[in-house]
Amino acid sequence: MKKALYFFFVLLPATPIAAQGTAEGKQVVPDSVHYAFEKHFANVQQLTFGGDNAEAYFSFDGQWLIYQKTSSKEGIPCDQMFIGKIPTKEGEKFEPKLVSTGKGRSTCGAFTKDGKHVIYASTHLGADTCPPVPDRKKYGNKYIWPLYESFDIFLADLEGNIVQQLTNGKGYDAEATISPDGKKMIYTSTKDGDIDLYIMDLKSGKEKRITTALGYDGGAWFSPDGKKIIWRASRPKTEAEIKEYKELLAENLVAPTNMEVFIANADGSHVQQVTALGNANWAPAYLPDSKKIIFASNHQSKRGFPFNLFLVNEDGSGLEKISAEKSFDAFPMFSPDGKKIVFCSNRNNGGTRDTNIFIADWVE
């Protein structure tokens, strides 16, 4: 559930950031889809309007998006998966359709290489209803994220018919993405007692655990050239941190508020920590060159908000903020040809708690 941190921070209305003028001595600050200093974005287009929309990812041909949505107004009490064709002409609408079962909670969708199927995680085999949300008061009002054991990963066609259940072991199985050649799936599971990454050969079903360090490993992607993987990880070090981590894990919970970006070879070897910024650095992905990295972070904020998008080199150098100063911006992904970027943001939401999907031309 790469969306973990998103659930909490959408509770804060977006803070407008570009002063337009004054009214009775007060700043009037409008919402916008594109702020002046966002020099890497051009022709920004808002695709969704209302609800909580997140984790929008391209199909291999760059023509479709898959994403997850919650909207109480639309009768979607917890996340379900939707797909939609990206508009290419002026005036053309983005018209998504449901592709998950509509039962339980779904998360972390991705298209397969053939463009005819999607994968996603769902709790629908556990119950038709949304799984319960943890009572944070019990944990000192810390941000706590549930690792629902009923999450398994499924393969479905574009009409929403489940073709295959890809995981069926004990524990949380989610956060899956597909390798560039379409042959492998990398995902997160608690099946061996920690929160680790696994790579599965989709044809044979054979898999390998590729992380072993104590801590949460999740939200992994292959680099576009298929040679590396990138993910977010927590690494509890002190006795108190380890104790808290293990106690929460025993209750199928995790507190994903201190994470850094890691990379490794595609087989899990040669692990390197990219960031050491503090707070939550997450939703990382490689740029099309398979060298530079984009990710979301709140490391500049003492109160945990806002989240912005940043660029960085593999060695952690060259950090550059690329998105708005006081909004929630996350889940960046580049189109396969590198010409477009999609991201999710609470900008232009009229001061509501809505988070929407935006697509833009990428400017080097």
| pLDDT tens track for 28-39 | 345 789 998 899
All structural domains of the chain with their residue ranges: 4-362
Could you list the pLDDT tens digit for every one of the 364 residues in the chain? 555 444 444 444 333 333 333 333 333 345 789 998 899 999 999 999 999 999 999 999 999 999 999 999 999 999 999 999 999 998 899 999 999 999 999 999 999 999 999 999 999 999 999 999 999 899 888 889 999 999 999 999 999 999 999 999 889 999 999 999 999 999 999 999 999 999 999 999 999 999 999 999 999 999 999 999 999 999 999 999 999 999 999 999 999 989 999 999 999 999 999 999 999 999 999 999 999 999 999 999 877 779 999 999 999 999 999 998 788 999 999 999 999 999 999 999 998 999 999 999 999 9
| pLDDT tens track for 114-141 | 999 999 999 999 999 999 999 989 988 8
CATH of the domain spanning 4-362, picked from 3.30.1360.150, 2.120.10.30, 3.40.50.12280, 3.40.50.12160: 2.120.10.30
CA distance 276 to 129: 39
The answer to whether residues 105 and 79 touch, using CB atoms and an 8 Å cutoff, is yes
